[in-house]
Chains A and B, each alone.
Chain A
């Protein structure tokens, strides 16, 4: 059976994706910065679904390690899902370069670094699927989170270009824009229930997008319309809003 590599596998979304793909029979490779934390999930997936599941150390911001990390994987994955990302307070990040660069590096630079390597390999093998979890925050910069948003915007653009290039080598690329998701990161926030997806819905969306070779997917359909509206607000009006 084909193998799925999850990058950033300690996040709630990645856990749901790992289980969803394992339930479909895929073997799973879990990768995260703190691989000790992956051990319980690795056991869980093996027991629940009877597939092969391995855990690997991977730091999205340690760019220099990415090549060796990827080439140490056996077997090489057929599907790579890039879930990692990092969000913190925008105002704090404006004053603190370490915070700002951490957001940029995990949401954009790190993703580019590892997916360049994956892309090269997939192109050579002339097969495979790459999934990037980007964000609706990247559609238009807002005062409340434009550092995160701009990094995600970069990532979205990267995925779009990668899809274009990879199409010609038989490799498929999916961009996912989840919107609000009920995770540890958002626990306790009173998110609007109608607009908020749970991690299982995200995982189901991703599984379907892989199966059906979809290009750009939202989890809850109205996000697409909300973002269309937000995109079309004239800048003159937009800049005066407190968003």
Chain B
């Protein structure tokens, strides 16, 4: 253990922390006992301060696979294994992750802690929907197994509970059957916001869907976007040359992004990329092709550390969800963002299906995520946006958050008091706490 400078993906905030690592079951309780207070930490891919604390218990070296039932598609592992490693094991055997976020560099513990969602939320729900059972070490050092059937209060408060109920050690979850490692992709251009919303509805039966939306365009092209849809390709849908090895893993290649750049560099890069895709000669109204799962799910992972593109001061990602009937709210927020000009050029838009959880972020509606480089005046502006989000019945994603006020959390999550009660039951003295949980008054 020693002091280390740490931050999460947004590089904001940055802090000094005592980081503890462990590999063996018998070490966890001892580390916990000796710690004054701590937060479990996976791969630090949440954007803000959720996995930051004076002390952190890092799970990355606790990464063994426990079992893999290749017939039934049930996978069990220690919490520190990352999704990229799991894919290497399961894809060649004809299985896929039931839910995956936009990066494969997160741990299973982090997938549960944030109850992550993917492009298939409207059909498959969030990660917690696929958990068979999991095991935690609680603040008092005791070990407890929970599932949708046993210790349900602990289970519910752990899914999306940002690590506050205990340290997840083991997770058993169901996989999704695939015939090939390829995705049948369809990309459709939408001229404006009305069209993209209509398209989401038209393609609601599509397994995967997400849109890249231009936040700055005004006038008749306000909300112009590219809708990206996907299905796992069946064997017969593969081009001949891929049929010989249908479950092939994509080659490992990535380009490091070694320097902190001023944020306009990244922005102008994404502007160019989007325009290239949007106006490119080859881009008809609709493109259909078959691609490997890698570029489809993880386009950004090809550039390691792209977060440094936002400069030294870091950035925050703002992600909210608004109910389906609140389209007007979406329009208002997009207008405000483009008027202010503080945000990134591109945002990700998605439609969530129904979900009623204790504390998980997803609920039915539109979710929009975009980046804001940290600068003067930003947080005041985001406070204003929060009010619009709340006014339309929406809420923010804690996993991306580094600055929201406790009232905003409270107003957005109707079962917050129940969540707090459960945390206090399993973590009574606030032994497990993060900078975020203190800021949001969950552990103070």
B61 CB contact (under 8 Å) in A12, A44, A47, A188: A12
- Which residues from chain A contact B22 at a C-beta distance below 8 Å? 184
- Asked if A243 is at the interface (CB within 8 A of a chain B CB), the reply is no
Pairwise interchain contact B23-A15, C-beta atoms closer than 8 A: yes
Pair B23/A187 contact, Cβ less than 8 Å: no
Does B425 make an interface contact (CB < 8 A)?
Answer: no
Asked if A189 CB lies within 8 Å of chain B CBs, one says yes
> How far is it, in angstroms, between the C-alpha of A12 and the C-alpha of B64 when the chains are bound?
12
Q: How far is the CB of A111 from chain B (nearest CB, A)?
A: 22
Would you give the shortest CB distance from A105 to chain B, in whole angstroms? 23
Q: Which residues of A contact B58 (CB under 8 A)?
A: 187
B152 interface residue per 8 A CB criterion: no
Main secondary structure of the interface of B (DSSP, over half): strand
Determine the interface band of chain A, counting residues with CB < 8 A from chain B. Answer: 10 to 19
Query: Chain A interface secondary structure, helix, strand, loop or mixed?
Result: helix
Does A10 count as interface, using CB distance less than 8 angstroms?
Answer: yes
The answer to whether A40 has its CB under 8 Å from any CB of chain B is: yes
Known A37-B26, A188-B2, A188-B4; contact A47-B67, beta-carbon cutoff 8 A: yes
Chain A nearest CB: distance from B3 CB in Å?
7
Q: Tell whether A48 pairs with B89 under 8 Å between CB atoms, given A40-B25, A187-B2, A188-B3.
A: yes
Looking at the assembled complex, report how far the CB atom of B59 sits from the nearest CB atom of chain A, in whole angstroms. 12
Q: Is B65 an interface residue (CB 8 A)?
A: yes
CB of B24 closer than 8 Å to a CB of A = yes
In the complex, the chain A residue whose C-beta lies closest to that of B26 is A37
Q: Once the chains are docked, how many angstroms separate the CA of A15 from the CA of B61?
A: 10
Q: Say yes or no: A44 contacts B65, CB within 8 Å.
A: yes
Decide: A188 and B1 in contact? CB cutoff 8 A.
yes
Task: Give CA–CA (A188, B31) in the complex, Å.
Answer: 14
Partner of A47, one of B18, B19, B65, B78: B65
B416 contacts partner chain A, Cβ-Cβ < 8 Å: no
Whether B64 contacts A43 by the Cβ 8 Å rule is yes
Contact with A along B5-23 (1 / 0, CB 8 A): 1000000000000111111
Give CA–CA (A236, B64) in the complex, Å: 50
**Most chain B beta-carbon neighbours within 10 Å: one of A12, A37, A43, A47:** A47
Q: Would B23 and A47 count as touching, CB distance under 8 A?
A: no
B residues 55-93 near A (Cβ < 8 Å) are 58, 61, 64-68, 78, 89
Using a Cβ–Cβ cut-off of 8 Å, how many residues does chain B contribute to the interface with A? 23
B90 to chain A, nearest CB (A): 10
Q: Is A190 close to B, CB under 8 A?
A: yes
Kindly provide the distance from the CB of B87 to the nearest chain A CB, expressed in whole angstroms: 12
Q: Are A184 and B65 closer than 8 Å at their CB atoms?
A: no
Q: Are A190 and B67 in contact (CB-based, < 8 A)?
A: no
CB atoms of A187 and B68 under 8 A apart: no
Q: Is A197 interfacial (CB-CB < 8 Å)? A: no
Residues of B within 8 A of A51 (CB): none
A209 at the interface (CB under 8 A from B): no
Q: B78 contacts which chain A residues (CB < 8 A)?
A: 40
With beta carbons under 8 angstroms apart, the residue of B2, B26, B64 that contacts A44 is: B64
In the complex, what distance in Å separates the CA atom of A104 from the CA atom of B66?
36
The CA of A47 and the CA of B58, in the complex, are separated in Å by 24
Q: A40-B78, A43-B65, A44-B65 are in contact. Are A10 and B2 (CB under 8 A)?
A: no
For the complex, give the distance between the alpha carbons of A235 and B78 in Å.
50
A190 partner residues in chain B, CB cutoff 8 A: 3-5
Residues of chain B within 8 A of A123, CB atoms compared:
none
User: Please, which residues of chain B bring their CB within 8 A of the CB of A10?
Assistant: 23-24
Known: A10-B24, A37-B26. A187 touches B67 (CB 8 A): no
Q: Please give me the residue from chain A that is nearest to B17 by CB atom.
A: A188
Top-7 shortest CB links A-B:
A188-B2, A44-B64, A187-B21, A40-B64, A188-B19, A44-B65, A47-B65
| 24 pairs, A vs B, C-beta closer than 8 Å | A12-B23, A12-B61, A15-B23, A15-B61, A40-B24, A40-B64, A41-B64, A43-B64, A43-B65, A43-B66, A44-B65, A44-B66, A47-B65, A47-B66, A47-B67, A47-B89, A184-B22, A184-B61, A187-B19, A188-B2, A188-B19, A189-B4, A190-B3, A190-B4
Interface residues of A, Cβ cutoff 8 Å to B: 10, 12, 15, 37, 40-41, 43-44, 47-48, 184, 187-190
